[in-house]
Amino acid sequence: MGSATSSMAAKFAFFPPNPPTYKVVSDESTGKMRLSDAPQRENVDVLKLCTKKGNEIVAVYVKNPSASLTVLYSHGNAADLGQMFNIFAELSLRLGVNLMGYDYSGYGQSSGKPSEQDTYADIEAAYSCLEDTYGVKEEDIILYGQSVGSGPTLELATCFPRLRAVILHSPILSGLRVMYPVKRTFWFDIYKNIDKIPLVNCPVLVIHGTDDEIVDWSHGKQLWELCKEKYEPLWLKGGNHCNLELYPEYLRHLKKFISAIEKLPCAQYISGQSTDQSERSVNSTDHRDRSRTSTDHREKSRLSNGQREKSRPSTDSREKSRVSTDRREKSRRSYDRSGKARNSIDQSERARNSFDRLGDMVRSVGLCNVDCFKQTATEV
């Protein structure tokens, strides 16, 4: 049963570039590893990590000195680190984050053969490296899964409830659902994201193109609807499976999301449901207040007029606290509006230059095998 599932996973999901687009070389003077054909950068570490399945995978860690958050990026099905390296470096710079990317087993210079279970072991090894080698805390990690990478991303997200956030880029509901519109999950299906997404506790951003010919837009929409903590999704009109990075809205929305997550305490999240949750919290407080009021009524006969007078300032204090909270909320909304107003023409021009540079990188490499899923559908 397990071998059948792995076999289907391999047919469906994995098309590593052949030959790999890079080699791992060591600097003769320092012994530091780097990717061939990639410029030597002081802020980039190239690593070899051992997985619990016995494979050795290659990872890159891009450091940003001003970063407080770290992105763990799981790439798509037909790319390797040689193709993703410059994009990782650009995202780290533009988003103000540290970023770790890794190659799945059997990809690039990683040993072994790709399988669903191996990708789970691969992302676990990368996550452990962030904690053990770089001292990154769980609550400072954002998981980013692109296409097939949404599988290991959501598998890991269900295991760590205090993650800061999850980003799903052209995600899949499950492997079988990409090929056939099935209504239930079968035992032989792979990457059962549809069953895992409700178990994720942190905020989730979903990005999907409306004209995705490989993974239908409905996958992203349904995953977003099943999220506990929804953040405003990004549906890119006309976007397909492999070109979302070319849209200016892509980087702009990512920046907005990272900024929102970064400003909030780890225990609080911003989402489409945050207002409702706040209301529920206020209602809960009101219920407790009514309970206390009921108790106070029973005690009224024992209270003197002076004691009742003392209780009024306390009530006024609570009322002032609520007014203060309302003012802070109005101030925050005002700040958000003023922030939007500050998007001047010059800032837009600088942003366009950034998008153009990222777009050039995306155009220069093939980040997915456009025909892979269609081919698989005919083979199965």
Q: Which of 147, 150, 174, 271 is catalytic?
A: 147
Q: Is 54 exposed, middle or buried (0-12, 13-18, 19+ CB in 10 A)?
A: exposed
CB 366 within 8 A of CB 78: yes
For 167, what's the count of Cα atoms within 13 Å in the CB-facing half-sphere?
23
Residue 92 appears among annotated catalytic residues: no
Q: What is the DSSP string of 268-296?
A: ----TTHHHHHHHHHHHHHHHHHHHHHHH
Q: Return the sign of the alpha-carbon dihedral for residues 3, 158, 149, 177.
A: positive
Q: Which of 208, 219, 241, 253 is catalytic?
A: 241
Q: Is 144 exposed, middle or buried (0-12, 13-18, 19+ CB in 10 A)?
A: buried
Q: Which of 118, 122, 189, 212 is catalytic?
A: 212
Q: What is the DSSP string of 152-219?
A: HHHHHHTT-TT-SEEEEES--S-HHHHHS--SS--TT----HHHHGGG--SEEEEEEETT-SSS-HHH
Residue 169 appears among annotated catalytic residues: no
Neighbouring residues of 32: CB distance < 8 A, sequence distance ≥ 6? 26, 45, 46
The rounded distance, in Å, linking the Cα atoms of 133 and 127 is 10
Residue 132 appears among annotated catalytic residues: no
Active site residues: 147, 212, 241
